[in-house]
Amino acid sequence: MTTGPLSTPPSEARNHPINPWWVDAVIYQVYPRSFADADGDGMGDLAGVTAQLPYLEELGVDAIWLSPFYVSPQRDGGYDVADYRDVDPLFGRLEDAERLLDAAHAAGLRVIVDLVPNHTSSAHPWFVEALSADPNTEAGRAVRDRYMFRPGTGADGAEAPNNWQSTFGGPAWTRSTNPDGTPGDWYLHLFDSSQPDLNWDNAEVRGEFEDILRFWLDRGVDGFRVDVAHGLVKAEGLPDHHARPGMVTDAEPLAAAGDADAGEDVAGHRESNPQDHAHPVPYHDQEGVHEIYRSWNAVLAEYDHDPVLVAEAWVSPLERLFRYVRPGEMHQAFNFTFLLAGWDAVRMSDAITVSVQEAEKVGAPNTWVLSNHDTVRHASRFGLADPTRYPNGLGAEDEQPDEALGWKRGRAAAMIELGLPGSAYIYQGDELGLPEHTTLDDSLRQDPTFVRTEGAEKGRDGCRVPMPWRADAPGFGFAVGHHVNTGPSPVNPNTPATPGHDAGAAPLTAAAPWLPQPESYGTYAADRQVDVVGSTFELYRQLLGVRGELDLGTGAFAWSRFHSPELGVLAFTVATGGGQGGYDLDSGDHIPEKVALVMANMGQTAVEVPEEYAAAIFSHDEAMQDGQLMPDSAAWFLRR
Ligand code: GLC
């Protein structure tokens, strides 16, 4: 895989001393439900994350981001929070969060937690109080004002206040019942009906979230990934909007007004190009959100350990996205335009060009990402006949990805992502090359999208399948520290017992994982990859090591003379400081820097590569043949 010597540096060498840590950090997303199960109940937990920290240290990431672990009825995988200051018993206790923070910090890993400010769970005490309050009293109005209650329209207020649709399908409004049993006002929920939207014009809401930030900062967290950061503020008067909100795009029009299916039949909306979205959406990307993030920036600035705010903002075009990371606001914003480009050199080239320009304008780093807990895993998307498709989940009756092709392209895409200057996020399992579970039984699906679209969209369960740690263990070793699975998962009673259990064989027993893994996960298991030459894990480890050694994350980006997106070739150089002399690969000029040339062949034919380089890394064993880079491959050529 490698020619020439490449060493892996200690992670401390990585960050430029004058930059805050997050500028070039590689951050690993942990989805706690599915990372590692320490207590053996079939559901991942915080003690499981702590137990697996050595694995992340070996991989060489700088930080972890934990998806929500707070008290929650789990109607949307924890993104329905009932108590922002405590841990759900499914995942442990507050002490487990503190222990995890301590252990991660001791291992040199920073920890980002998820913050969900657009909505609470309907089980949150505030919402319970709002529903039981008398709307005709001042006190009742005050507690209801924390949410978005509005009178209905039509006869007796039986129609929703406006035509907004939920991101998960169906209407964005649900009618409440007054304490006296009569039908009441409607409340807004851009997501599930169990996720009422908060009213960000309310001063108490603003104060509460500043307190929540401090609660976790006082416990040492290193930042927050801000959920639906583009959604908190709604346009004055809540005007109608003729599109269903996509997490990705708002471009899909609803059926014509009066059509019986209006608002329901919008399956496939996520496949639209976000660049098409140019119209103002009354619940997304409103100007008022920026003031909120400026106030949060000030809260974080009270702490001296450089905590970071990361925006999850499905906003386009990129010019709008980068407004979230202007000085004094957030620090990072996930680049979903890059994620959505798919395996396509022209689209990816455009996304990178514009991202680099826009980032420069505001002086913020780029934040690259290929997959997360909301997307079909890129190793599977890139194996579809159209590798730019972005379906919301895949099921057994859908087109099945070409797994081998997706595996190759997924590894090559990682070489693009991790070669680019800026910060990069890895979704748990990316480093194992995990594919999506594309044949999950519908009866096991838990994503509210599946139910709310009446099955038209499979939803996100297929990318949330528990991690395979050990190929030969039941549940592929998801229950870390346990040896045997004895029966169905108590946390998802529909999950069948893992085959092959033997209750007498080992002292510790565990339930089957809350979602079953596909058979193929055995070949991807961590114990088949760690220390195995040529494995995806080892490729990631090597890329992270070299990225750190050369400081690629803070390097200077330029398209190279090999760049030819129309022919499917993506090629850029990253020049990095380091005090050693070197020669530019393209021009041959002497420059006081180290240079890496990142090349990906996303086309159909083999392509020429530079003749001279000190060392190279290839995306897989057959990537280079007869001195040429083969299709569906990538390489880093290093010149010092
Ligand atoms: C974000 C989360 C997603 C969640 C939604 C509602 O997009 O990433 O998982 O369903 O917000 O909170």
Residue 108 sits in the same domain as residue 140: no
Residue 490 in any domain: the answer is no
Contact 427 CB / ligand 1 (< 6 Å): no
The confidence score (pLDDT) of residue 581 equals 52
Contact 191, 452 (CB under 8 A): no
Question: Tokens at residue 405, please?
Answer: 């092709």
- Do both 158 and 208 map to the same domain? no
Per the model's pLDDT, the better-predicted residue between 319 and 488 turns out to be: 319
Q: 232: CA distance to ligand 1 center in Å?
A: 13
Distance, in Å, from the CA atom of 223 to the CA atom of 27, rounded to the nearest integer, reads 12
State the DSSP string of 367-420.
EEES--TTS--HHHHTTSSSTT---S---TTSPPP-HHHHHHHHHHHHHHHHHS
Residues 161 and 251 grouped into a single domain: no
Instruction: State the pLDDT confidence band at 291, using cuts at 50, 70 and 90.
Output: very high
CATH code, domain with 156: 3.90.400.10
Say if ligand 1 is within 6 A of residue 45 CB: no
Does 6 have pLDDT greater than 50?
Answer: no
Count of domains forming the chain? 3
**In terms of residue numbers, what domain contains 624?**
556-639
Find out whether the beta carbon of 79 lies less than 6 Å from any atom of ligand 1. Answer: yes
> Tokens 């910060």 belong to which residue?
423
Burial class (CB in 10 A: 0-12, 13-18, 19+), 70: buried
Tell whether 14 is covered by a domain. yes
Q: How confident is the model at residue 9, as a pLDDT?
A: 32
Same domain, 518 and 633: no
Structure tokens at 193: 């009906």
* CATH code of the domain covering residue 425: 3.20.20.80
78 Cα–ligand 1 center, Å = 9
Asked whether residue 486 is domain-assigned, the answer is no
pLDDT band at 143 (very low <50, low <70, confident <90, very high): very high
| pLDDT for the residue numbered 585 | 61
- What separation in Å is there between the alpha carbon of 77 and the centre of ligand 1? 9
Residues 138 and 269 in one domain: no
pLDDT band of residue 487 (cuts 50, 70, 90) is low
Whether residues 345 and 435 fall in one domain: yes
Residues annotated as catalytic (active site), given as ranges = 227, 302
pLDDT category at 640 given cuts 50, 70, 90 is low
Ligand 1: does its nearest atom lie under 6 Å from the Cβ of 229? no
For ligand 1, atom 5, name the residue with the nearest CA: 79
Chain mean position to CA 69: 15
| Helix ranges (DSSP H) in 436-565 | 448-452, 521-524, 536-550
Domain termination residue (choose one: 188, 221, 241):
188
78 within domain boundaries: yes
Pocket test for ligand 1, best of 113, 247, 334, 371 (most atoms within 8 A of CB): 247
112 and 130 together in one domain = no
pLDDT tens figures, 615-638: 899 999 999 999 999 999 999 999
Ligand 1 pocket, residue 227 CB under 6 Å = yes
Residue 311 CB less than 6 A away from ligand 1 = no
For the chain, give the percent of residues with pLDDT over 90.
Answer: 81
pLDDT band at residue 18 using 50, 70 and 90 as cut-offs? confident
Q: Which atom of ligand 1 is nearest to the CA of 190?
A: 6
Instruction: Please check the confidence at residue 270 and state whether its pLDDT lies above 60.
Output: no
Atom of ligand 1 at shortest range from CA of 373: 9
Q: Does residue 5 have a pLDDT over 60?
A: no
End-to-end CA gap in the chain: 19
In whole angstroms, what is the distance from residue 550 CA to residue 541 CA?
A: 14
Contact in structure between 42 and 514 (CB atoms under 8 Å):
yes
Average pLDDT over residues 585-611: 84
- Please give the pLDDT value at position 481: 78
Mean pLDDT, rounded, of the chain: 89
With a 6 Å cutoff on the Cβ, whether 116 touches ligand 1 is yes
Residues 233 and 357 in one domain: yes
116 CA closest ligand 1 atom index: 12
In this predicted model, what pLDDT tens digit does every residue of 362-374 receive, in sequence order? 999 999 999 999 9
Q: Could you tell me if the CB of 247 is within 6 A of ligand 1?
A: yes
Q: Are residues 170 and 211 in the same domain?
A: no
Q: Band the pLDDT of 147: cuts 50, 70, 90.
A: very high
Query: What's the rounded mean pLDDT across residues 212-226?
Result: 98
Task: Please tell me which of 126-130, 454-458, 589-593 the model is most confident about, judged by mean pLDDT.
Answer: 126-130
CA of 227 to the centre of ligand 1 (A): 6
pLDDT band at 264; cut points 50, 70, 90 = very low
Whole-number pLDDT of residue 247 = 66
**Of 133, 163, 188, the domain-final residue:** 188
- The ligand 1 atom at the shortest distance from the C-alpha of residue 314 is 7
Please determine, for residue 48, whether its predicted confidence score (pLDDT) is greater than 80.
yes
Q: Is the CB of 191 under 6 A from ligand 1?
A: yes
CB 117 within 8 A of CB 196: no
In the reported structure, the alpha carbon of residue 361 is separated from the centroid of ligand 1 by a whole-number distance in angstroms of 29
Residue 272 confidence (pLDDT) above 90: no
The pLDDT assigned to 243 comes to: 83
Same domain, 108 and 215: yes
- Model pLDDT for residues 378-399, shown as the tens digit of each residue: 999 999 999 999 999 999 999 9
Distance from Cα 568 to the centre of ligand 1, integer Å: 33
Q: Is residue 548 part of a domain?
A: no
Q: Is residue 27 part of a domain?
A: yes
Ligand 1: centre distance to CA 243 (Å) = 19
- CATH number (domain holding residue 611): 2.60.40.1180
Q: Taking 90 as the threshold, does the pLDDT of residue 574 lie above it?
A: yes
Q: What is the pLDDT of residue 280?
A: 76
Distance 29 CA to ligand 1 centre (A): 14
Looking from the CA of residue 374, the nearest atom of ligand 1 is: 9
Domain contains 226: yes
Q: Whose CA is nearest to atom 9 of ligand 1?
A: 374
Query: Where does the pLDDT of residue 613 fall: very low under 50, low under 70, confident under 90, or very high at 90 and above?
Result: confident
Whether ligand 1 lies within 6 angstroms of the CB of 76 is answered as: yes
Mutate to test the pocket of ligand 1, among 70, 224, 228 (most ligand atoms within 8 A of CB): 228
Asked if residue 170 belongs to a domain, the reply is yes
The finding on whether 630 has its CB within 6 A of some atom of ligand 1 is no
What pLDDT does residue 100 have? 98
| Same domain, yes or no: 211 and 100 | yes
H helices of 118-255, in order, are 125-132, 138-144, 203-218
What pLDDT shows up at residue 501?
42
pLDDT at 639: 81
How many angstroms is it from 150 CA to the middle of ligand 1?
A: 24
Residue with the smallest CA separation from ligand 1 atom 7 is: 228
pLDDT tens for 76-123 read: 999 999 999 999 999 999 999 999 999 999 999 999 999 999 999 999
228 close to ligand 1 (CB < 6 Angstrom): yes
Q: Would residue 334 be called left, alpha or beta, if left means φ above 0 and alpha means ψ between -120 and 50 degrees?
A: beta
The answer to whether residues 348 and 448 belong to one domain is: yes
pLDDT of residue 539 exceeding 70: yes
